[in-house]
Amino acid sequence: MKILVADEISEKGIAMLRSSGHEVDVKTGLKEDELASIIADYDAMIVRSATKATRKIIEASKKLKVIGRAGVGVDNIDLEAATEKGILVMNAPSGNIISTAELTIGLMFALARNIPQADRTMKEGKWEKKKLTGRQLTGKTLGIIGLGKVGTEVAKRAQGLGMVVIAYDPLISPELAVKLHVRLVSLDMLLAQSDFVTIHTTLTAQTKDMIGAEQLSKMKKSAFLINTARGGIVNEEALFNALNEKKIAGAALDVFVKEPPDDWKLAKLDNCIVTPHIGASTKEAQEEVGSEIAEQIDLYLSKGIVKNAVNLPAKLDPALMPYMELCNKLGLMAVQLAKKNVSSIEVKCSGEIAQKDTKILAASAVAGLLTPLVAEASVNLINALPLAKERGINVVHVTSEESPKYKNLIEVSVSSDGSRSCVAGTEIAEKGMRIVQLNNHSVEFEPKGTFLFIEHMDKPGMIGAVGTLLGKNGINIAHMDVARDKRGGPAVMILSLDEPAPAAVIEQLKDIPNLKDATQITL
């Protein structure tokens, strides 16, 4: 097979491909038109972050079977165009893990012992020993947000330093946490108890600004914050204010909302260490991702074995197509309803659809469940089930040809810490996707945007109380659905919002008499 290496990768990776009998051309720095003019000759292409695999290039290909990304992010590859063309896209997510974990530990040492400040003052000809008194790490508590592959490696190293490790990750099962000797806690508890907080989750709609002014105010004044994951998870303005006002002791950032940043004010603070996104910038990591993607491409071209794919360029049964997005949204809703650490997910497909091979629908639901918090990989139909297994989440797939009320029905149930959340949906003619069950309540609404799921007792004035509180906070209700089991009994409201409600407003809602719970869900 003929392979184009469009960005620099390790010689080891190139040698591996050639030794397997592939013809390899290394042509780096090519522009879009140049790539489009030669891509028709190649069966595979390898890129890093510099080369953009655009629709124009992909459509110009004649026999391209796979695009390999030597690294994690695939923003530079047009996945939609590749999928339409039947081209597999894969990445190499494992090669950067150790380097990122080690950088995190290094930044923790730098914060604890004032190493950058000590170096700077010495170079200025100053001997400020007394001012640079630091802290030891042994016996301190490290809070890890996101216990995926990088978070796990950080935990192991911190434990080796004699630190107490706690973690917040709704997708890690309690059993797996026990094996890792890590105590799972809520986010608020982690922030309050930790001497060091380190972030290892992905950037999604749910995790954007996850650490803002409210969360920073819950940290100890002596605590430090580290982010080597993604820019945008920490609100940079809120962090600047917290550091400037000494509300926390310090921070270390390797990632930023915009890279390089337009505003360098965080870099100018004495209690903030900044590095230019060097988490994966080690010789070993670069060699590892090159070798990893080369091995994966060889396996696919030679044996048809797929590893770390980020798309699914296969033709699906047309009867299943309308339910793919629905299942993904059901999984995404279920994990947000659960709130706690998920131990299992059951996907039940009922009705005429049960006569089809619905395993792919189960995979779509699991992908939705995992998407919010899996940092180290793009979750998709191919890798969803292995990722769930890796995190200790049991997946059950059930089918039944009986569906009394609907032609087809998909039910997704999630178990977490002894509780169970269930959401069900279907496709209704001329209406499209509809959610028809939330826990034990029959409902009907379109799953899109941001909405509030409010459980309450059926008492006069409940709708008015909720609407008034949201209105006072400038939050507009676009649509409302209500349901109850019986008069005066348990009831629910589903409120579609024009914009997300701040966490503080959600907490205010919970203080309304006869209101049992309020959960904001974003799709």
% of the chain with per-residue pLDDT over 90: 67
pLDDT of residue 376: 57
Are 323 and 341 in a shared domain? Answer: yes
What's the pLDDT tens digit per position in 14-57? 999 999 999 999 999 999 999 999 999 999 999 988 899 999 99
pLDDT of residue 316: 64
Paired tokens of 77 = 């590859």
Whether residue 260 is preceded by a cis peptide bond, meaning omega within 30 degrees of 0, is yes
pLDDT of residue 373: 64
Higher local confidence (pLDDT), 141 or 418 = 141
What's the pLDDT tens digit per position in 366-404? 989 998 767 655 677 777 888 888 888 999 999 998 887
Extended beta strands in 307-449, E state: 342-351, 394-400, 408-416, 419-428, 432-438, 441-445
179: pLDDT strictly greater than 90: yes
Domain span holding position 386: 316-447
Are 261 and 325 in a shared domain? Answer: no
Q: Using the 3D structure, point to which of 447, 472, 499 is the last residue of a domain.
A: 447
pLDDT of residue 315: 56
Are 242 and 378 in a shared domain? Answer: no
Helix 503-510 vs helix 462-472: angle between axes, to the nearest 10 degrees?
150
In the predicted model, what is the mean pLDDT of the chain? 91
Domain total for the chain?
A: 4
**φ, ψ (nearest 5 deg) of residue 382:** -80, -45
When pLDDT is cut at 50, 70 and 90, the band that residue 510 belongs to is: very high
Q: Using the 3D structure, point to which of 399, 425, 447 is the last residue of a domain.
A: 447
* Contact between residue 252 and residue 273 where contact means Cβ atoms under 8 Å apart: yes
- Closest to 205 (Cα-Cα) out of 368, 426, 415: 368
Are 355 and 397 in a shared domain? Answer: yes
Are 105 and 86 in a shared domain? Answer: no
Are 126 and 199 in a shared domain? Answer: yes
Q: Tell me which residues are annotated as active site.
A: 230, 259, 277
CATH number at residue 337: 3.30.1330.90
Are 335 and 373 in a shared domain? Answer: yes
Are 237 and 170 in a shared domain? Answer: yes
505: pLDDT strictly greater than 90: yes
Are 173 and 256 in a shared domain? Answer: yes
pLDDT of residue 313: 55
Q: Using the 3D structure, point to which of 447, 477, 495 is the last residue of a domain.
A: 447
Sign of the CA dihedral with 242 first, then 243, 245, and 249 last: positive
314: pLDDT strictly greater than 60: no
CATH number at residue 505: 3.30.70.260
CATH number at residue 239: 3.40.50.720
pLDDT of residue 429: 81
